[in-house]
Chains A and B, each alone.
Chain A
Amino acid sequence: MRLDDLLEQTGSWLSSDFSTGCVISSRVRLARNIKGSVFPGWASDEDSLELCETLRPLLMGLPSLKDSLFMDMDTIEPMDKQVLMERHLISSELAEKGAGSGLVVSPDETCSAMINEEDHLRLQVISPGIDLGSLLEVIDRFDSELESVVDFAYSPRLGYLTSCPSNVGTGLRASVMLHLPGLRLLDEVDPIVRGLNKIGLTVRGLLGEGTEPSGDMYQISNQMTLGESESTIIRRLHHLVTEVTGHEKNARQRVLESREAMVRDFVGRSFGILTHAYTLSSKEALDLLSGLRLGVEFRMIGEIETRTLNELLLLTQPGHLQKIEQTLLGPEERDCARARIIREKLKDAVIER
Chain B
Amino acid sequence: MKCEVCGEVGATVQLTQVVDGEVKKWQLCETCASQEGFNVQEPISLTDILFGMGGEPDSVSDGEKVCSTCHLQRSDFTKTSRLGCQECYSLFSKELAPLLNAMHKGDRHVGKVPRCEQMSAEIAALQSDLQDAINEQHFEEAARLRDEIEILSPGDVSAQARSGEDVDEA
Contacts and interface: CB of A to CB of B under 8 A. Distances in A.
Interface stretch (B34-42, B112-120, B125-133): B112-120
Interface string B1-23: 10000000000000000000000
Contacts of B107: 226-227
Contacts of A36: 86
Interface string A203-227: 0000000000000000000011111
A42 B80 CA distance: 11
B89 A155 contact: yes
Contacts of B1: 194
A7 B133 CA distance: 64
A157 B108 contact: yes
A39 B82 contact: yes
B111 A165 contact: no
A38 B89 CA distance: 12
Given A38-B84, A158-B89, A164-B81, A227 B105 contact: yes
Contacts of A118: 82
Nearest to A194: B1
A168 B121 contact: no
Question: Which of B80, B84, B121 has most A Cβ within 10 Å?
Answer: B84
B151 interface: no
A88 B107 CA distance: 31
Question: Which of B70, B96, B110 has most A Cβ within 10 Å?
Answer: B110
A188 interface: no
B157 interface: no
Contact of B82 (A152, A163, A224): A163
20 contacts: A38-B84, A39-B70, A39-B82, A39-B85, A41-B82, A153-B86, A156-B113, A159-B109, A165-B99, A166-B81, A168-B109, A169-B109, A172-B111, A226-B100, A226-B108, A227-B105, A227-B108, A229-B110, A229-B111, A229-B112
Interface of B: 1, 69-72, 80-86, 89, 96, 99-100, 103-117, 121
Interface of A: 33, 35-39, 41-42, 118, 140, 143-144, 147-148, 151-161, 163-166, 168-170, 172, 194, 200, 223-230
Top 7 A-B pairs, shortest CB-CB distance: A227-B106, A159-B109, A42-B84, A227-B105, A226-B104, A153-B86, A170-B111
